[in-house]
Amino acid sequence: MSNRSAIRLSGVRSSPHGHQRAGRRGANFTLHTTLGEIKLEIFCEAVPKTAENFLALCASGYYDGCVWHRNIKGFMIQTGDPSGSGKGGQSMWGQPFADEIRSTLKFNNRGIVAMANSGPDTNKSQFFITYAKQPHLDGKYTIFGKVIDGADSTLDAMERTPVTAKNRPLTEIKLTHVTIHANPIADAKLAGR
């Protein structure tokens, strides 16, 4: 890990109350969008490299202002490319990283959060949130979190947003910023563990 990445992680301020709720299970944070808030839990222990990348990008402000560039009703909504084209993005290491497929993590619910990729081991910064069960995706995409609040309001509003023939929202939806409530990865690094 580069010094730049370490700075990104050590700059995170975790809420003491959020940390107590999350414990060592995962990180809790809120995606603030132009349609409302979505609170997520990240599976830090199950997929540590993916969690580290995602949380470092969140902490650095990388996702601030990203548009949700792909939106397919009944399937998913995708973001994480600062260019907004759906073709860009970088990991915290500046290169793609390996999948962390876990047999215990399945696309078995609405609100599953996973890395978008262009094939095996091509994860960077783009991610998506499912609108429904998607079992055909199992074993193909790294699942790293789930929606724990906002599925019945913000995610519903996103799914109802009209789109172009290429599944781009007609009215731009932005991920304005991220609030990190608990980050056990950064907390462990700060404590020297």
- What lies within 8 Å, CB to CB, of 153 at 6+ separation is 36
Q: Is residue 112 packed enough to be buried (19+ CB in 10 Å), middle (13-18) or exposed (0-12)? A: buried
Are the C-beta atoms of residues 59 and 183 closer than 8 Å to each other?
Answer: yes
H-state helical runs in the chain: 3-10, 16-22, 48-60, 154-160, 184-190
Residue 3 sits at φ, ψ, to 5 deg, of -60, -35
Phi, psi of 156 (to 5 degrees): -60, -45
pLDDT tens digits along 63-101: 999 999 999 999 999 999 999 999 999 999 999 999 999
**Would the pLDDT of 62 be above 70?**
yes
- Give per-residue pLDDT as tens, 5-51: 332 333 333 333 333 233 345 789 999 999 999 999 999 999 999 99
> CA quadruple 144, 82, 68, 6: dihedral positive or negative?
positive
The structure tokens listed for 58 are 């969140």
For position 45, what pLDDT does the model report?
Answer: 92
Rounded mean pLDDT of 93-113? 98
Task: Give 128-160 pLDDT, tens digit per residue.
Answer: 999 999 999 999 999 999 999 988 899 999 999
Rounded alpha-carbon distances, angstroms, from residue 81 to 25, 98, 115, 117, 127 = 28, 19, 12, 12, 9
Regarding predicted confidence, which is higher, 38 or 192?
Answer: 38
DSSP 118-150: SSTT-B-S-EEEESS--GGGTTTS-EEEEEEES
Question: Is the domain covering 3-190 a CATH 2.40.100.10 domain?
Answer: yes
